[in-house]
Amino acid sequence: MIEVWAPKAERVRLRRPDHEDVELTAAESGWWSADVALADGDRYGFVLGESDDTRPDPRSRRQPDGVHGTSAWFDAAAHEWTDAAWPGRALEGGIVYELHIGTFTPDGTLDSAIDRLDHLVDLGVTHVEVLPVNDFNGVWNWGYDGVLWYAVHEAYGGPAAYQRFVDAAHARGLAVIQDVVYNHLGPSGNYLPEYGPYLREGSRNTWGDSVNLDEDAVRSYIVENALMWMRDHHVDGLRLDAVHALHDDRTPHILQELAEASDALSVELGRPLSLIAESDLNDPTLIRSRERGGYGLGAQWSDDWHHSVHVALTGETVGYYEDFAALDALPKVWTKGFFHDGTFSSFRGRDHGAPIPADVSPAQLVTFAQDHDQIGNRAAGDRLSQTLSPGRLAVAAVLTLTAPGTPMLFMGEEWGASTPWQFFTSHPEPELGEATAKGRIEEFVKMGWDESIVPDPQDPETFTRSKLDWDEADHDWHADLLALYRGLAAFRHERPELADHSWESLAADSGGDDPGHRAFALRRGELSILVNLTEGEVAWDVAPGRKVLLRTVDGARIEDGEAVLPPESAVIVGPAS
């Protein structure tokens, strides 16, 4: 049975190569259907109204010729899965690794990414978070301009390769989190409005017209897409892009609908499934349980954590970093989760956020020193490794992997990758490519950046420059940093103090009120994470019977009842036994 939701059409035909068109029959609520069976790989599309143009299936699983071509039927049940014994993996207690398929390996495919999964196992990662793979126009892109949410981008290998990737990850004990975008559709190849009111007229967000969450069929389109990834492709959870851009006035909110559907599928499958929100709202409603009035999502990204760590490491206080110049910013996010929890945000010009209640776990905040947005949305796409010393990069590693939240690494961070990660596109339409490049430059000029350092997103070299150089991971200070990340990940998995996800176990001290004196004593139970980001030696009192459990430089030591830290160093101090 072939079905399609097309309430705008007065007539719908199924078109296949070497076949007569088949008229679909109108049903209720804008649905059309025909009693036709398709086999794996069969090409097809729909013809709407009296037009003779063939359009892809809005729920197409595969687009061999791109978003403008015909769809190819994909038999999701054909893959012979080997993960029947996979128990799943809860997010709590995990370490997330964010990667982009196109730049993770030289080949930029799902199959080539499989060859690097053992590296992630050795690193100590538990969850692989994959940037969007849904189909977009062009060959390379960050993935956030998708127009066919059910299809896996063909240049990555298509849906069959995606299933192989997930199966291979599970075989190595790695969970897979898929990044999905439900807040807008891309600017090129979006035929959904020809079928029905997928977009809300007169309502826009940062990236384009808002998705029409007033329409039941559109809400189902989103929920069923989420279930497809977890059911048919066996992923272990989803990262929901920019949920603050989901304009929904209905009850329950679409995020609650997604959480309820995911929880029900989790029970059915007998393994944990995680939904992680990206949100700048600092609103704990997202991750609070439904029993306590929340939406019941599993976790959310914490921009406040990133901003406070970034300022501490770099001293950069431009734009939204301004508020985080306060010396108590890092201690506050360490112990409270949000920095803006009802406080004034100078960047927004208003009070922002709300306190995190005690019934929300610190582990429900995904914390990171680097991610694709915070690197790629800089003018030159520069990583911390391109401006910071190896010593400060080592401190970043300690902060990230001892954090009270669930830590996340961005691909290559573990060895201080020297390659940038820049904003790249491959729009086939010259006018769209030109507008994208022009808009990028204007955006950074407004922020005071030098426009000469902004790469052209359409230049193929911008994409090529952003690919990881795996050879450097085994050399010089890169290898030392990689060894530190591996040691810290193992330490995190082994120490019971770092498995205590209670707010009561946390404490923090900035060591004074001098804004330039960035030295911190951060505590998790019996462990003290001491950090010196000053230019001189710093000493902290320690209790008797303590020893250094991990240090970033040899000169860090305990003597005469004090932990002594050289500049740009960190130590973890704990009980001697």
pLDDT, tens digit (0-9, with 9 covering 90-100), for 139-175: 999 999 999 999 999 999 999 999 999 999 999 999 9
Whether omega before 496 lies within 30 degrees of 0, making that bond cis, reads no
Least confident of 287-296, 316-325, 352-361: 316-325
Q: How far is CA 408 from the centre of its chain?
A: 9
**What are the start-end ranges of the H helices in 284-429?**
303-314, 329-336, 372-376, 390-401
For the chain, give the percent of residues with pLDDT over 90: 90
**241 is known as an active-site residue:** yes
pLDDT of residue 571: 98
pLDDT-based confidence at 430, cuts 50/70/90? confident
Q: Are 243 and 286 in contact (CB under 8 A)?
A: yes
Q: At 182, list the tokens.
A: 């439900």
Mean pLDDT confidence for 256-262:
98
pLDDT of residue 449: 64
Pick 56 or 327 by higher pLDDT. 56
Annotated active-site residue in 154, 241, 257, 413: 241
Q: In the predicted model, is pLDDT for residue 438 greater than 80?
A: no
pLDDT of residue 431: 86
Contacts of 577 (CB under 8 A, 6+ apart): 545
Q: In the predicted model, is pLDDT for residue 113 greater than 70?
A: yes
Q: Is 284 left (phi over 0), alpha (psi -120 to 50) or beta?
A: alpha
pLDDT-based confidence at 348, cuts 50/70/90? very high
pLDDT of residue 447: 59
Going by C-alpha positions, the residue among 236, 235, 240 that lies closest to residue 255 is 240
Strands 538-541 and 562-565 come out as antiparallel
Tell me how far CA of residue 272 lies from CA of 91, 97, 114, 300, in angstroms.
Answer: 9, 18, 23, 17
pLDDT of residue 446: 56
Each residue of 400-422: pLDDT tens digit? 999 999 999 999 999 999 999 99
**Residue 113: burial class (beta carbons within 10 Å; 0-12, 13-18, 19+):** buried
**167 is known as an active-site residue:** no
Least confident of 277-281, 339-343, 365-369, 517-521: 517-521
pLDDT of residue 519: 94
Q: At 292, list the tokens.
A: 């306590």
Domains, the chain, in order of start with CATH, read 2-55 (2.60.40.10), 496-575 (2.60.40.1180)
Each residue of 48-87: pLDDT tens digit? 999 999 999 999 999 999 999 999 999 999 999 999 999 9
Each residue of 469-521: pLDDT tens digit? 999 999 999 999 999 999 999 999 999 999 999 999 999 998 765 656 689 99
Number of residues that make up the chain: 577
Q: Rounding to the nearest 10 degrees, give the CA dihedral for residues 314, 459, 99, 84.
A: 170
Q: Are 237 and 277 in contact (CB under 8 A)?
A: no
pLDDT of residue 516: 63
Q: How far is CA 225 from the centre of its chain?
A: 18
Q: In the predicted model, is pLDDT for residue 450 greater than 90?
A: no
Annotated active-site residue in 135, 257, 278, 323: 278
Rounded Cα distance between 110 and 105, Å, is: 9
Q: Which residue reads 């807008």 in tokens? A: 184
Going by C-alpha positions, the residue among 359, 486, 390, 435 that lies closest to residue 95 is 486
Rounded Cα distance between 283 and 266, Å, is: 25
Average pLDDT, the chain: 95
Q: Which residues are annotated as a binding site for substrate?
A: 239-244, 303-307, 372-377
What totals of helices (H) and strands (E) does the chain contain, helices first? 14, 30
Contacts of 355 (CB under 8 A, 6+ apart): 284, 336, 338, 341, 342
pLDDT-based confidence at 36, cuts 50/70/90? very high
pLDDT-based confidence at 231, cuts 50/70/90? very high
* Phi/psi at 108 (5° precision): 70, 35
Q: Please tell me the pTM assigned to this model.
A: 0.97
Rounded Cα distance between 385 and 369, Å, is: 11
pLDDT of residue 98: 98
Neighbours of 536 (CB within 10 A): 10
Mapped onto helix, strand or coil, the DSSP state of residue 59 is: coil
What is the largest distance, in Å, between two alpha-carbon atoms of the chain?
89
pLDDT of residue 335: 98
Q: Which residue reads 């998708």 in tokens? A: 146
Q: Which residues are annotated as a binding site?
A: 239-244, 303-307, 372-377
Rounded Cα distance between 553 and 563, Å, is: 13
Mean pLDDT confidence for 251-265:
98
Q: In the predicted model, is pLDDT for residue 252 greater than 70?
A: yes
Mapped onto helix, strand or coil, the DSSP state of residue 258 is: helix
Amino acid code (one letter) for 430: P
Q: Which residue reads 């309430």 in tokens? A: 7
